[in-house]
């Protein structure tokens, strides 16, 4: 009498395969069993990864909390689950438990130049060379990214506007704030600083991404193009 071999997941319609389903429709549409099947990667000779996941879930009355309390040894009692699969499932459930206990990080809201300075100064204080950074903001002027753009010498650094706006569009930023330091402590903008600010402002207007400010930082103080009426 031969074994009854179930059809593998690869024989399913593409929309029904867990990995392809997640890519096409998003993680929220997958059942608990389908998500666990992705972790398992494969089932046994006689059942798919989804069937195996359903069996494991059923043993715990489909309760993820009690499933998360199972040991490696207990999981390995199921045919088709070896040590690697058991450890992978336990690790994933532990990450989920830890995530539940983690509070979402509160975003900094920029209401003026001082807020922007406070956000970038910690990464630019006391540098012996110039660096250029950009803050990415959402529509509520909350910081959704702080990106390092370039590092230069004592008297200058190169900035590519295309890279700045590529970062902004990828993060769906509604506005940006530019910032660079003058190691000399002289906060007076150079002509290159002025030209760059105007260029960035004009490009942002075309792309509907506002350039809210450009800060020059040195010796614990700053110059704001916005405060000085130059933006």
**Within a domain: 72:** yes
Query: Tokens standing for 84?
Result: 């690697």
**Within a domain: 149:** yes
Output the pLDDT for position 83: 96
d(CA 65, CA 93): 9
130 and 220 within one domain: yes
**Within a domain: 4:** no
CATH number for 141: 3.40.140.10
Residue where one domain finishes, among candidates 100, 128, 162: 100
pLDDT in tens, 11-61: 555 555 888 888 888 888 999 999 999 999 988 888 899 999 999 999 999
199 and 134 within one domain: yes
Residue where one domain finishes, among candidates 100, 133, 162: 100
Q: Is residue 97 a contact partner of residue 68, using CB atoms and an 8 Å limit?
A: yes
Q: Report the range of poorest mean pLDDT among 13-22, 101-110, 131-140.
A: 13-22
| R_g over Cα of the chain | 27
Percent of the chain whose predicted confidence (pLDDT) is above 90 = 67
216 and 134 within one domain: yes
d(CA 99, CA 91): 12
Output the pLDDT for position 44: 81
pLDDT in tens, 147-170: 999 887 554 567 888 999 999 999
Q: Is the pLDDT of residue 186 over 80?
A: yes
Q: Is the pLDDT of residue 4 over 50?
A: no
Output the pLDDT for position 11: 56
Q: Is the pLDDT of residue 220 over 80?
A: yes
Output the pLDDT for position 160: 87
Output the pLDDT for position 151: 85
164 and 83 within one domain: no
Which of 29, 40, 195, 28 shows the shortest CA–CA distance to 9? 40
Residue where one domain finishes, among candidates 54, 79, 100: 100
88 and 60 within one domain: yes
Residue 187's pLDDT band (cuts 50, 70, 90): very high
**Within a domain: 107:** no
**Within a domain: 32:** yes
**Within a domain: 106:** no
Question: What are the DSSP E strand ranges found in 109-201?
Answer: 131-137, 143-151, 175-181
Count of structural domains, the chain = 2
The range of the structural domain enclosing residue 73 comes to: 9-100
**Within a domain: 230:** no
As a whole number of angstroms, the longest Cα–Cα distance in the chain is 88
d(CA 183, CA 130): 6
β-partners of residue 109 are: 142
């Amino acid at each position: 009498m031969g074994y009854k071999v179930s059809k593998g997941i690869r024989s399913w319609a593409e929309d029904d395969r867990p990995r392809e389903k997640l890519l096409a429709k998003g993680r929220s549409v997958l059942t608990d069993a389908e998500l666990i099947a992705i972790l398992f990667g494969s089932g046994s000779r006689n059942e798919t990864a989804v069937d195996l996941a359903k069996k494991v879930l059923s043993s715990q009355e489909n309760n993820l909390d009690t499933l998360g309390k199972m040991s490696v040894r207990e999981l390995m009692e199921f045919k088709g689950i070896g040590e690697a699969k058991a450890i992978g499932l336990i690790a994933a459930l532990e990450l989920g438990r830890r995530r539940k206990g983690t509070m979402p990080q509160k975003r900094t809201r920029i209401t003026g130049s001082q807020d922007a300075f406070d956000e970038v100064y910690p990464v630019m204080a006391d540098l012996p060379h110039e660096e250029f950074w950009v803050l990415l903001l959402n529509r509520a002027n909350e910081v959704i990214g702080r990106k390092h753009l370039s590092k230069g010498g004592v008297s200058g650094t190169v900035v590519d506007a295309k890279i700045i706006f590529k970062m902004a569009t990828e993060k769906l930023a509604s506005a940006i704030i530019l910032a660079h330091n003058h190691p000399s402590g002289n906060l007076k903008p150079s002509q290159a600083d002025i030209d760059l600010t105007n260029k960035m402002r004009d490009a942002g207007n075309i792309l509907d991404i506002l350039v809210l400010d450009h800060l020059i930082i040195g010796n614990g103080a700053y110059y704001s193009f916005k405060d000085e009426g130059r933006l």
